[in-house]
């Protein structure tokens, strides 16, 4: 008798388990979802934009799990994905981004294939037809290099966009953008092309930079983007006597910072074409030695002679050095709190060179970062433009000398200061940062020292 009772009790437990399974998953029988309605808006769209899928899927017998979609054009899958579903009656409106693929024809017939599934692997398929995909139309595009330089690519027919008379490096990491922000960064609300698995393709903000190399050249002179085939082609050229590009520069470590350097003759009044990073708008040329007439053109202001050009890729500035600089051609200022002009912040510099700041001078003449040059611009008149005081401590203390042997120091007490009243002291030229001292703005200042009447004019300049 006890065995019979146990049998009935066990049978009841098993029945309850099956009942609970039916409550959670639906009846254990074959079931097929039903796509009540499905539509795409708009029916005619531009590749590179998004479409909206509206659908209602039901299954009165079994819980729904997913809706798979595949958008097809010219026999190729353009985009596919899966939308999760829940319950037994589900309505959705889903945005689907439709990229432009290479070799995609204009005004193409497009189909959207749908497959609804339930938890028991029952499924139903349908297809939305009478959709049309159109190629985007661009008047121009922008080649944006990873260093921030921008080149306008003009439409030239046959879906090709061309940039000529360029001054790019031979190796360029780039993206191609439809739109730019006001600061010349990429506006990702427009179409953007970059690297996807080693090929050019449409990308979003997380996409990678594409890469192009121009062989057997000193610089890249032209760039062609084929927006149909998704290819890029370049042509290069060689440097002339009046051209400057990093391909001709060597590498040099100065006080723990990596410089690109070139020693060559520079002629007073001659205009030089600068290429690649040397022509970036963010790169500041020392205004005491160069006048920048365009992003890619600089005129040399110093006396004709041999100079070493120093380019700092982190500070994004360029200055020159000479062998044994001395009076009467130059004054040399060393001490604390001066730096050749740059718009790169101390935080940015320190992130690459820990402990280094926007100012770089010290007491000494061991390397070109220890001191700064003031160039003779007239008989007994010297000009130097520097960033001071440091933006990390707002202090400076320095003094001009006539050569690297500390000759004929120029004490502050010898001069009358006009213009910006930032210097104090009788010996060192001091910008104090004491508790009761006024805070002097860290900026680019131009110092004009007149040894004829012992005056110094200081003006703030924007570079």
Contact 425, 417 (CB under 8 A): no
332 in the same domain as 461? yes
Strands of 278-363, DSSP E: 284-285, 290-294, 297-300, 305-312, 317-321, 330-336
Return d(Cα 162, Cα 453) in angstroms, integer. 57
pTM of the model: 0.75
377 in the same domain as 303? no
80 in the same domain as 129? yes
425 in the same domain as 344? yes
Local structure of residue 413 (DSSP, 8 states): G
What CATH number is given to the structural domain containing 44?
2.60.40.10
437 in the same domain as 341? yes
314 in the same domain as 439? no
Domain of 279 in residue numbering reads as 239-323
What CATH number is given to the structural domain containing 201?
2.60.40.3620
Domain final residue, candidates 214, 237, 260: 237
Specify if 8 maps to a domain. Answer: no
330 in the same domain as 448? yes
What tens-digit pLDDT sequence spans the chain (463 residues)?
445 444 444 455 444 444 444 444 444 457 899 999 999 999 999 999 999 999 999 998 999 999 999 999 999 999 999 999 999 999 999 999 999 999 999 999 999 999 999 999 999 999 999 999 999 999 999 999 998 889 999 999 899 999 999 999 999 999 999 999 999 999 999 999 999 999 999 999 999 999 999 999 999 999 999 999 999 999 999 999 999 999 899 999 999 999 999 999 999 999 999 998 999 889 999 999 999 999 999 999 999 999 999 999 999 999 999 999 999 999 999 999 999 999 999 999 999 999 999 999 999 999 999 999 999 999 999 999 999 999 999 999 999 999 999 999 999 999 999 999 999 999 999 999 988 888 999 999 999 999 999 999 999 999 9
Specify if 366 maps to a domain. Answer: yes
Q: Phi/psi class of residue 360: alpha, beta or left (left: φ > 0; alpha: ψ in -120 to 50)?
A: alpha
Q: Phi/psi class of residue 164: alpha, beta or left (left: φ > 0; alpha: ψ in -120 to 50)?
A: beta
**Torsion angle in degrees (nearest 10) through CA of 226, 228, 229, 235:** -10
Specify if 16 maps to a domain. Answer: no
Domain final residue, candidates 218, 237, 256: 237
330 in the same domain as 385? yes
Tally the domains of the chain. Answer: 4
404 in the same domain as 455? yes
Specify if 21 maps to a domain. Answer: no
Domain final residue, candidates 186, 215, 237: 237
Q: Phi/psi class of residue 178: alpha, beta or left (left: φ > 0; alpha: ψ in -120 to 50)?
A: alpha
Specify if 44 maps to a domain. Answer: yes
339 in the same domain as 447? yes
Specify if 197 maps to a domain. Answer: yes
418 in the same domain as 315? no
Specify if 378 maps to a domain. Answer: yes
Local structure of residue 60 (DSSP, 8 states): S
423 in the same domain as 330? yes
């Amino acid at each position: 008798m006890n065995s019979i009772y146990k049998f009935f009790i066990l049978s009841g437990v098993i029945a309850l388990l099956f009942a609970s399974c039916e409550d959670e998953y639906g009846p254990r029988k074959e079931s097929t979802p039903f796509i009540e309605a499905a539509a795409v808006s708009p029916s005619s769209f531009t590749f590179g934009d998004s479409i909206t899928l509206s659908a209602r899927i039901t299954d009165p017998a079994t819980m729904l799990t997913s809706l798979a979609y595949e958008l097809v054009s010219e026999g190729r899958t353009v985009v596919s994905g899966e939308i999760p579903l829940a319950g037994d009656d589900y309505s959705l409106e889903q945005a689907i981004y439709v990229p432009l693929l290479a070799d995609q024809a204009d005004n193409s017939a497009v189909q959207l294939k749908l497959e609804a599934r339930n938890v028991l692997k029952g499924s139903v398929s349908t297809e939305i037809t009478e959709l049309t995909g159109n190629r985007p139309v661009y008047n121009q595009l922008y080649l944006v290099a990873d260093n921030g330089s921008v080149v306008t690519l003009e439409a030239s027919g046959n879906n090709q966009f061309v940039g000529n008379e360029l001054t790019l490096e031979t190796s360029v990491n780039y993206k191609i953008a439809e739109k730019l922000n006001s600061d010349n960064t990429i506006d990702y609300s427009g179409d953007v092309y970059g690297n996807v698995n080693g090929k050019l393709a449409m990308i979003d903000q997380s996409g990678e930079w594409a890469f192009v190399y121009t062989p057997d050249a000193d610089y890249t002179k032209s760039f062609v983007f084929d927006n149909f085939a998704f290819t890029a082609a370049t042509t290069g050229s060689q440097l002339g006597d009046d051209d400057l590009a990093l391909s001709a520069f060597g590498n040099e470590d100065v006080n723990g910072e990596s410089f690109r350097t070139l020693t060559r003759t520079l002629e007073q009044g001659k205009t030089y074409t600068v290429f690649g990073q040397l022509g970036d708008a963010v790169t500041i040329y020392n205004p005491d030695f160069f006048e920048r007439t365009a992003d890619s053109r600089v005129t040399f202001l110093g006396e004709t002679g041999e100079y070493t050009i120093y380019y700092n890729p982190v500070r994004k500035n360029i200055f020159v050095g000479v062998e044994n600089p001395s009076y009467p051609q130059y004054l040399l200022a060393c001490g604390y709190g001066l730096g050749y002009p740059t718009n790169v912040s101390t935080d940015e510099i320190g992130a690459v060179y820990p402990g280094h700041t926007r100012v770089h001078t010290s007491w000494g003449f061991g390397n070109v970062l220890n001191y700064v040059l003031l160039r003779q611009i007239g008989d007994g008149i010297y000009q130097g433009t520097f960033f001071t005081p440091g933006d990390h401590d707002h202090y400076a203390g320095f003094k001009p000398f006539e050569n690297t042997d500390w000759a004929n120091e120029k004490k502050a007490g010898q001069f009358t200061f006009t213009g910006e009243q930032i210097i104090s002291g009788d010996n060192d030229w001091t910008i104090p940062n004491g508790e009761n001292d006024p805070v002097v703005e860290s900026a680019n200042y131009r110092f004009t020292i007149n040894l004829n009447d012992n005056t110094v004019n200081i003006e703030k300049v924007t570079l």
